[in-house]
């Protein structure tokens, strides 16, 4: 029958992912992004992918990757493709995908989109016209090495191995974020950014674009800390001739001090909560309530949230987690 011919191999053709960096234990802020990404995809009958972003090998450890997988399963989340279950777009661990990053880099290089940069961090700080760059990535690179003469580049390469930078085009980048709404910035706002560090490590920006493209990701949902990385990723997608995913950046959990919730705020890793006897249902309900999906922090499973999920209901503002709110997770967290 005709309609069978149109059946995509997987449900709706929607593909999303959760892409943690195994550089520490999962805390409730990471759990919020994971839960919302899962809900977005599962509520539309899509395929959910788990990818370990361990490209920065010095900061990542396999024990954390195992712990993250345990924590996600404990919360009640599941995935169709991932490091532990395999799938058609593997490997699902960045440190096993280096050849793919190299290939993409070579294509960018061949297209004249990259150049070698010999600047040290200190040079950049000293030369940076603007005192601040993208919140996520230090000062704006002023483009010093973009126009080095071949002789000069050769001379500098005798004493220093270069990083590789993507030469950002002129013009504007705009996109519509599923939570943050319409975004528009000049392509050069963040400066020419690194795609491979001087020590040979591929940058997050490059690796994430290669992976999202080759894993066929249609919908990226992640924390708002990465909102200002998105224009860079869009530029890489375009330079590599790949189809752009849709993006949704969800609010971060912030401590009462106005800083991003982190270990220093204490007692907020899933391992600690689990140890203290907090149930996954309590955590899921609390997260859904904090994000604006539930009017009260009742106990629920991720499944029970599926019908409630709508991107439009997620709060646009960062979520300040007070000690009273933490007390609803576990009395011992209320100071």
Shortest separation between residue 262's beta carbon and ligand GLU, angstroms: 12
Determine the Cα angle at 306 with ends 49 and 233, to 5°: 40
99-138 residues in contact with Zn ion (CB under 5 A) are 117, 119
**DSSP state string for 42-72:** HTTT-EEEE-B---STTT--HHHHHHHHHHH
Candidate residues 53, 81, 137, 177; the one interacting with ligand GLU per rule CB under 6 A: 53
Instruction: Return the one option of ligand GLU, Zn ion, none that residue 117 interacts with (CB less than 5 to 8 A, by type).
Output: Zn ion
What b/e readout covers 94-111, taking b as 16+ CB neighbours within 10 angstroms?
A: beebeebbeebbeebeee
Structure tokens at 290: 């904090």
Q: Is 334 annotated as a binding residue?
A: no
Candidate residues 208, 239, 261, 300; the one interacting with ligand GLU per rule CB under 6 A: 208
Instruction: Return the one option of Zn ion, ligand GLU, none that residue 144 interacts with (CB less than 5 to 8 A, by type).
Output: Zn ion
Residue 317 annotated among the catalytic residues of the structure: no
Q: Is 10 annotated as a binding residue?
A: no
Give the rounded distance of the alpha carbon of 221 from its chain centre: 8
320 contributes a contact to ligand GLU by CB under 6 A: no
Give the rounded distance of the alpha carbon of 319 from its chain centre: 18
19 contributes a contact to ligand GLU by CB under 6 A: yes
226 contributes a contact to ligand GLU by CB under 6 A: yes
Scanning 16-24, 146-154, 158-166, 168-176 for contacts with ligand GLU by CB under 6 A, the matching segment is 16-24
Instruction: Return the one option of ligand GLU, Zn ion, none that residue 222 interacts with (CB less than 5 to 8 A, by type).
Output: ligand GLU
Contact string 155-194 vs ligand GLU (x = CB under 6 A): ----------------------------------------
By three-state DSSP, how is residue 179 classified?
Answer: coil
55-84 residues in contact with ligand GLU (CB under 6 A) are none
Annotated active-site residue in 160, 243, 263, 317:
263
How many amino acids of this chain bind ligand GLU (CB under 6 A)? 7
Structure tokens at 171: 């013009």
Which stretches within the chain are classed as H helix?
2-5, 28-42, 62-75, 98-110, 121-127, 150-157, 204-214, 230-239, 270-275, 280-291, 302-305, 323-329
270 contributes a contact to ligand GLU by CB under 6 A: no
Residues in the chain, total = 335
136-195 residues in contact with Zn ion (CB under 5 A) are 144-145
**DSSP state string for 109-135:** HHTT-EEEE---HHHHHHH-SSS---T
In angstroms, rounded to a whole number, what is the distance separating the alpha carbons of residues 117 and 217?
Answer: 31
Catalytic positions are 263
Known binding residues are 17-21, 53, 117, 119, 141, 145, 204, 222, 263
Residues of the shown chain interacting with ligand GLU in the complex, contacts defined by CB under 6 A: 19-21, 53, 208, 222, 226
């Amino acid at each position: 029958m005709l309609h069978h011919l149109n059946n995509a191999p997987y449900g709706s053709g929607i593909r999303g992912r959760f892409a943690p960096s195994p550089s520490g234990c999962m805390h409730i802020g990471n759990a919020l992004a994971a839960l919302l990404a899962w809900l977005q995809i599962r509520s539309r009958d899509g395929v959910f992918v788990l990818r370990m972003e361990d490209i920065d090998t010095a900061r990542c450890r396999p024990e954390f990757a195992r712990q993250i997988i345990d924590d996600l399963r404990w919360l009640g989340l599941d995935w169709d493709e991932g490091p532990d279950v395999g799938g058609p777009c593997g490997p699902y661990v960045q440190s096993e995908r280096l050849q793919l990053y190299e290939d993409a880099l070579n294509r960018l290089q061949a297209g004249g989109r990259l150049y070698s940069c010999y600047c040290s961090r200190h040079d950049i700080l000293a030369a940076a016209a603007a005192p601040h760059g993208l919140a996520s990535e230090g000062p704006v690179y002023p483009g010093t090495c973009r126009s080095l003469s071949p002789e000069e580049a050769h001379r500098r390469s005798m004493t220093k191995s270069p990083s590789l930078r993507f030469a950002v085009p002129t013009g504007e980048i705009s996109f519509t974020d599923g939570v943050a709404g319409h975004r528009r910035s000049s392509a050069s706002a963040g400066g020419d950014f690194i795609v491979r560090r001087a020590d040979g490590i591929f940058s997050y920006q490059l690796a994430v674009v290669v992976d999202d493209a080759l894993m066929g990701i249609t919908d990226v949902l992640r924390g708002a800390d990465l909102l200002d990385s998105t224009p860079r990723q869009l530029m890489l997608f375009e330079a590599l001739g790949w189809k752009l995913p849709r993006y949704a950046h969800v609010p971060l959990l912030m401590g009462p001090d106005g800083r991003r919730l982190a270990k220093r705020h204490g007692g907020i890793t899933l391992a600690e909560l689990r140890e203290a006897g907090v149930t996954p249902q309590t955590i899921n309900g609390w997260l859904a309530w904090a994000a604006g999906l539930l009017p009260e922090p009742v106990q629920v499973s991720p499944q029970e949230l599926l019908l409630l999920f709508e991107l439009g209901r997620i709060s646009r503002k960062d979520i300040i987690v007070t000690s009273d709110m933490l007390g609803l997770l576990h009395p011992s967290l209320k100071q």
